[in-house]
Structure 1
Amino acid sequence: MIQITGPGTLWLTALLFFIAIFGRYVLFSLGFWWLFKVSMKEQFAHRAVQTRPRKPGQDRREIGWSLLTSLIFTAIAIGVILAYQAGYTKIYTDLSAYPLPWYPASIVLVMFIHETYYYWLHRWMHKPGVYRWVHKTHHDSITTSPWTSFSFHPIESTLQAIVIPILTFVLPLHISAVGLLLLIMTVSSAINHLNTEIYPRDFNRHWLGRWLIGATHHSLHHAQFRFNYGLYFTFWDKWMNTESPDFHKLFAQKTGDKKEKRANS
């Protein structure tokens, strides 16, 4: 863990974290855009979820909001580092400090808590009195792209960012587990906003795939607003009956599943 010993190292650490956070966003966004919009354009053209053109200047606006989001994420990260140095968090660096099975279990537990927090936060953000001030910025991107993945109003960015840092005060988490969780969050968000379905045919019925959110699932949230509130997983949407009734049919259309298309027609 980086040690902050004075104003100089504080600003240097903040700069390094900002470069890592915003750079990670740019790297994954460009990577997914290149893979599924350029190098695999012909193979995946039929999997595009929305046909509505993106608004003029939408990429630029999304990158601008994402820049601000990255600054907020950086500030929170610095706060966690300072709290760790003061002995307030339960982050640990020695793998032998806890039984090895706790390492994967802690990741699963944090993802479940994060999913639960986000689902109910997301539903709250869609309340009329809240939506306009908190969530509308993200929904300006009706047709999404990987650039949309960090495009949030500062209030939403803060609300989204606080859950994992708070958990570091409650749960013992290895420093690499925290990093892995943040990486999963970035990759998942890019995939969900890709606007191109990368999962294979029938994956929505697979024992694992039926619980994972992808581009088709999340695109319906941006298009319909009142369904598909999940972050990583579909279980809260299934449990609360908020999964779009159009999901399986649309997934079949985007992945060429003729059998399922006939069943849903």
Structure 2
Amino acid sequence: MTTNSSVLSSSTSFFESDTWLFSVYVLTIYEIVFWLCNSFLIFIELVDIPWIDQYRIQKQKKKLRFQPEIVRLMIKETIINQISSLAFLPILYYTFEYFGHVDLHGSRPAWSTVLYQIALFILSEDTIFFWTHYLFHTPWLYKNIHKKHHVYKQPTGVTAVLSDPIEAIQTEFAMWFMPVFLKETHIFTICLWVAIRVYQTVAAHSGYNFPYIMTQYWLPELMPGAIAHDFHHQHGKWNYGSFFSLWDQLMGTHRLSASKTTVN
């Protein structure tokens, strides 16, 4: 009886803890953005809508149409991604608390602070992602780890989660390095960062060059978004950055079309 009571008490305390609260906040934002974006992309992959199809990047190829083997792989990898997120978030919270602190209860910081921190998160993530991604395209690492992510040369939103566990760790490290070591962050800023990063990842793999809602519409050379990453999937090289093209331009790996012949 004592053992059962202590287990129940421990379970209750967890669901009332800041660890649980942090996990719920972050996971909720992740799921909302991930599934809103992907539900739309899945729908337009299955249904032909001319005014939307005109923005498809690889018009010369037939749509994926989600053949059975594609569907099975996507379901499997999406389930793995969702389960691993559940396991990862409590660990992430403890990591935050070990190196600094996440404010879960205080009022939202000034917008200047929020925007400053988001800018740091983006710059840090983009730098770490570029160099680790570039490394994953070296022959041995590509063949043994990164190739799984390049199964489809015609990406769509849910293919963003196709990755080897080692690559998944690299992606999380790039995303969370700066937030963890910033010492003091607010859950509002963290949730905003999650929403931005998830949207950016899904949009980059969308296979569409939509106006207004994608970065390449506003800053085509600096933040080429889906244009750059779709080209990366088509050719298995070039355009290794996530948000920006700065590192690619510096390293000579920036390429958006056949007319731009800069190669590594």
8 Å CA contact 2:38, 2:158 repeated in 1:
yes
- TM norm structure 1: 0.76
Specify whether residues 178 and 19 from structure 1 end up closer, same or farther in structure 2 by C-alpha distance, changes over 3 A only: closer
Q: Distance in 1 between matches of 2:14 and 2:176?
A: 18
The number of aligned residues is: 239
8 Å CA contact 1:68, 1:154 repeated in 2:
no
**CA offset digits 1:91-142 (Å, max 9, x no partner):** 234357x765222101001110000000001001111111122211110011
Specify whether residues 63 and 24 from structure 1 end up closer, same or farther in structure 2 by C-alpha distance, changes over 3 A only: farther
Q: Provide the residue aligned with 2:38 in structure 1.
A: 29
Q: Distance in 2 between matches of 1:67 and 1:22?
A: 12
- 1:44 deviates by 2.7
- 1:40 deviates by 7.5
Q: Which sits farther off after the overlay, 228-237 or 158-167?
A: 158-167
Q: 1:192 aligns with which of 178, 186, 204?
A: 204
**CA offset digits 1:64-114 (Å, max 9, x no partner):** 213212322332211122345x55433234357x76522210100111000
Q: Distance in 2 between matches of 1:142 and 1:136?
A: 11
8 Å CA contact 2:118, 2:193 repeated in 1:
yes
8 Å CA contact 1:137, 1:151 repeated in 2:
yes
**Which runs of 5 or more structure 2 residues have no equivalent in the other structure?**
1-8
**SS of the residue aligned with 1:91?**
strand
Q: Provide the residue aligned with 1:127 in structure 2.
A: 138
- 1:165 deviates by 3.4
Q: Distance in 2 between matches of 1:186 and 1:24?
A: 7
Specify whether residues 185 and 233 from structure 1 end up closer, same or farther in structure 2 by C-alpha distance, changes over 3 A only: same
> For residue 49 of structure 2, what is the amino acid of its counterpart?
K
8 Å CA contact 1:69, 1:157 repeated in 2:
no
> For residue 45 of structure 1, what is the amino acid of its counterpart?
D
8 Å CA contact 2:29, 2:194 repeated in 1:
no
Q: 2:173 aligns with which of 159, 162, 170?
A: 162
Q: Distance in 2 between matches of 1:204 and 1:82?
A: 36
Q: Distance in 2 between matches of 1:191 and 1:222?
A: 14
8 Å CA contact 2:41, 2:156 repeated in 1:
no
- 1:22 deviates by 5.0
**SS of the residue aligned with 1:173?**
strand
Q: Distance in 1 between matches of 2:137 and 2:14?
A: 37
Specify whether residues 45 and 246 from structure 1 end up closer, same or farther in structure 2 by C-alpha distance, changes over 3 A only: same
> For residue 44 of structure 1, what is the amino acid of its counterpart?
I
Q: Distance in 2 between matches of 1:169 and 1:245?
A: 34
Q: 2:50 aligns with which of 12, 30, 42?
A: 42
**SS of the residue aligned with 2:37?**
helix
Q: Provide the residue aligned with 1:61 in structure 2.
A: 73
Q: Provide the residue aligned with 1:261 in structure 2.
A: none
Specify whether residues 122 and 180 from structure 1 end up closer, same or farther in structure 2 by C-alpha distance, changes over 3 A only: same
> Does residue 73 of structure 1 match 2:85?
yes
Aligned positions of 1:1-265 closer than 5 A: 6-7=10-11, 10=14, 13=20, 21-22=30-31, 24-34=33-43, 36-37=44-45, 41-50=49-58, 51-54=61-64, 56=67, 57-84=69-96, 88-93=99-104, 94-95=106-107, 101-171=112-182, 172-199=184-211, 208-244=219-255, 246=257
Specify whether residues 151 and 9 from structure 1 end up closer, same or farther in structure 2 by C-alpha distance, changes over 3 A only: farther
Kindly report the root-mean-square deviation, in angstroms, between the aligned alpha carbons of the 2 structures: 3.2
8 Å CA contact 1:149, 1:193 repeated in 2:
yes
Q: Distance in 2 between matches of 1:11 and 1:139?
A: 39
Specify whether residues 165 and 191 from structure 1 end up closer, same or farther in structure 2 by C-alpha distance, changes over 3 A only: closer
8 Å CA contact 1:52, 1:143 repeated in 2:
no
Q: Distance in 2 between matches of 1:149 and 1:38?
A: 18
- TM norm structure 2: 0.76
Specify whether residues 245 and 79 from structure 1 end up closer, same or farther in structure 2 by C-alpha distance, changes over 3 A only: closer
Specify whether residues 109 and 10 from structure 1 end up closer, same or farther in structure 2 by C-alpha distance, changes over 3 A only: same
Q: Distance in 1 between matches of 2:11 and 2:74?
A: 32
8 Å CA contact 1:211, 1:234 repeated in 2:
yes
8 Å CA contact 1:125, 1:131 repeated in 2:
yes
